[in-house]
Structure 1
Amino acid sequence: MKFTGQNNEYIEIVSIDKTNAKLLNESKKSALCMVWFKEDGNKINIDAVDYVFNANEIISLTEFHTIKVEAILDAILIRWNRSFYCVVDHDSEVGCKGILYYGASTVPIIKLDEKHIDILTTLFKMLYIEMESRDNLQLEMLQMMLKRLLILCTRLYKDQHLVSKLRTQSIDIIREYNYLVEQHFKTKHTVKEYAQLLFKSPKTLSNLFKKYGDTTPQQFIQNRIMLEAKRLLTYTDKTISEIGFELGFSDVQAFSRFFSKQEGVSPQKFRNREVLPTK
């Protein structure tokens, strides 16, 4: 089902199985999506990494992910464009910037328990009903329900992946750091540069990340650069020199040293590999 507004804003909800799995491969400009898997054993390659998603797991994807479906048994796709609802412009409402979207160097995965399965099932029933409505409040109602979905999933992700001892203010700093890295990783490679943007000291950021998990602020930057490097090496014909320059390295040797240190093989050997890395 799909709603399209007067200004080409849209939201769609589609049941996905092996007959129409190619819909997930489509990259739509300025689009965000969530996928709710309903059965075990769904196999998808995302940015050259193999994943297996099981029943009642939800993932968040952007237009920048490169997706190759190996097997989809049963899932629900909800997708919308920026004109319908921009999570960056409305971050104060949903708080998912830098968590579900525009900030994770890995695919955000949410696991649902029975309570939240019931809540989401009811929410999707309401979305289906509103999709069939034809009054002048339809757009606002659909946006409101999408916001509720984003808020719920953001809360669940925080509960499952962010340590409870972090205060809301600290989490917001980490979210903003993640988002800034997503915006500037090609040109800014040091924690100091992001600390200046956040009006914080590098030490403050390091201490926050110690509470957050095992990844340091510098490793977060490096992980994002590596993700993009692997995307470009896997899915484009750009030379290694061109990729290094695009990612902000002064010369191909600097890029090769960085990549080899992180991955254990040179960019050329990574590009020539026969088997994609698995998760």
Structure 2
Amino acid sequence: MLKEWVSHPAFRTASVLVSVAVAGILIGMGWEEARYGGVRTELERAEAAADELDQAAQRTPGRSKRDEAILARTLSYFPPYPNGGRPEALAADYLGPDTPIAVAWFSTQDSSDQVLQHYRKFLLDEGLPVVGVRFNDNAGYVGYWVPKDDEVRLMSTLHQGGETMVFVSSARMRNYLERAGRVPAGVPVPRNLQDIASLSLRMEGATNITVSGRVPEAELPAVEQAYRAQLRDQGWSVSEARQAGFQETELTLTRPGLRGQASLRQPSAQRVVDFHLSLMRSQAAP
């Protein structure tokens, strides 16, 4: 099982880069149908964008010089996947001039785990320090950090509709992380949250905000109970908790003009709770 939780800058950078790569899906496709009132979860948006990626590949036989440059910035660090389709450029440098980033993608009929294990073995055989997470049966990432370049290079997977979309990304995230380590005003997170990483993506009619972090020296039931009480005190409506898996809980929270989904997860045999919140804020929200 691919599950390598590490207390290292590379892990935090990689976790943020996965969210940033998902943002690249939306930007690369010009997909702007997310509006408050028809809000989808981050995974649903990624799945819909992945469908559009497949359709776009069928419509676009050639590549521009820009696309070739994006592919060179991403694919040169990993060998071609044996059962993969034709790689395509997705997006680049959409976080500002101080954060170089490039994202490409390809699809395969193989499972998410097959892809992740293939590239994990390649990286280990090359003697590279692997960082990776298997979120569930359908999604995860594997990659490595290059300290001298301050660059993280990842293969992220999303399996849906009988195929796996693989997103290849490389980015120098230090400047982004320096400004992403703060929680935007009005966004509810558990008290004592550390190793914070946030991303705000403006879309048509709404802003999607994601915040991730960790509550150290804690157990899931206590963190969940305190977080639910905190939300109620701040005027949020909270749905009944849905047990997403062993030692994992998901909450849906709403206020006028705001809707979010929070997940709380305790890695096995660790006294730490991982937190992730995806919140959609309408432009009319206070």
TM-score range, shorter chain: under 0.3
Which structure's residues are more often helix, by fraction? 1
Which structure's residues are more often strand, by fraction? 2
Structure with greater Cα Rg: 1
The two structures have a TM-score, normalised by structure 2, of 0.26
